[in-house]
């Protein structure tokens, strides 16, 4: 089966219902994982996020509406369409499901053409939503998170780090700035400046992988380092700066670029607060202050 086939989670306490969904979705080329209850499905979300969720409305234990509420409370699942299924002739539960964010509903017994049509519609909708959200949250030049999205992720990361206020989990914020960037624009032109910014963004993606990174603004970038204490963050930043100093943009091989960096770490000069907002402000202020100390001390270095 194609690795890019949509992954569907089907949750139904009826074994016959699960088998029917598995058969119809399987014949259409979808990958299906079926579960007899939401509770049984929970661990699967840690393994892989589905492209679409089908869930029965009426189930013992956690019912479909409660499950839908759980799904919508998870940011990672916010754009995953949920289709409710029900054998009930009433509409009250289905209306409530739509109010809570369900995309659609299907009545039992299943009609395969109807299931496939509604699944295709939901997947098309999800793709459009993802594209719109990506455009709204990512920088068009670099493809990295834009400033607003970077700050949102930073707040989420700081909140997670500060859950144990008296002993915060390791979390660092790295701020990077291209040295002498104005001279690149002045002497080589703005297309060359754009090429430098894209090169730095590409190196950030390759070096930091799945870690959240973004364009803070202009020639500045930010990288979130959950699990990194101060020494680890500084060592990582130094390695990245060394990598950049050996690189040059495509078509501009004679151009050498360096970065200055500032590191801020929760628990190391940045205290946790109950609202978390102050923690984010302190992280940004500390990283920014250290970045400009690096500039004053000669650039192409890390300060913390």
Helix (H, G, I), strand (E, B) or coil at 58: coil
290 is catalytic: no
What torsion, rounded to 10 degrees, do the Cα atoms 22, 23, 24, 29 define?
80
- Percentages helix, strand, coil for the chain, rounded to the nearest 5? 50, 20, 35
Half-sphere exposure of 287 (CA within 13 A, CB side): 30
Helix (H, G, I), strand (E, B) or coil at 55: strand
Burial 164-195 (b: 16+ CB within 10 A, else e): eeeebbbbbbbbbbbbebeebeeeeeeebbeb
How far, in Å, CA of 269 to CA of 279, rounded? 10
What torsion, rounded to 10 degrees, do the Cα atoms 184, 188, 189, 191 define?
-90
Catalytic residue among 219, 250, 253, 297: 219
Residues labelled as active-site residues: 219
């Amino acid at each position: 089966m194609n690795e890019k086939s949509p992954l569907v989670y089907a949750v139904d306490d009826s074994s016959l219902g699960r088998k029917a969904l598995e058969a119809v979705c399987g014949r259409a080329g979808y990958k299906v994982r079926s579960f007899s209850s939401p509770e049984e499905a929970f661990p699967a979300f840690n393994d892989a996020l589905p492209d679409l969720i089908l869930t029965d409305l009426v189930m013992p234990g956690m019912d479909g509406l409660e499950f839908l509420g759980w799904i919508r409370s998870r940011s990672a699942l916010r754009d995953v369409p949920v289709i409710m299924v029900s054998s009930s002739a009433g509409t009250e539960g289905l209306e409530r499901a739509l109010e809570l964010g369900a995309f659609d509903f299907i009545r039992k017994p299943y009609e395969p053409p109807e299931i496939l049509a509604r699944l295709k519609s939901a997947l098309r909708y999800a793709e459009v939503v993802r594209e719109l959200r990506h455009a709204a949250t990512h920088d068009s030049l670099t493809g990295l998170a834009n400033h607003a999205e970077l700050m949102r992720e930073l707040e989420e990361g700081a909140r997670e780090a500060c859950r144990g206020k008296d002993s915060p989990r390791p979390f660092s914020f790295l701020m990077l700035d291209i040295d002498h960037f104005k001279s690149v624009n002045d002497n080589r032109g703005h297309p060359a400046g754009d090429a430098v910014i894209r090169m730095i963004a590409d190196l950030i993606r390759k070096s930091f992988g799945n870690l959240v990174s973004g364009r803070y603004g202009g020639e500045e970038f930010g990288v979130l380092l959950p699990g990194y204490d101060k020494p680890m963050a500084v060592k990582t930043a130094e390695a990245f700066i060394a990598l950049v100093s050996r690189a040059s943009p495509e078509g501009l091989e004679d151009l050498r670029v360096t970065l200055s960096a500032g590191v801020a770490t929760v628990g190391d000069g940045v205290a946790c607060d109950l609202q978390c907002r102050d923690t984010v402000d302190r992280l940004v202020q500390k990283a920014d202050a250290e970045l400009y100390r690096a500039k004053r001390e000669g650039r192409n270095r890390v300060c913390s």
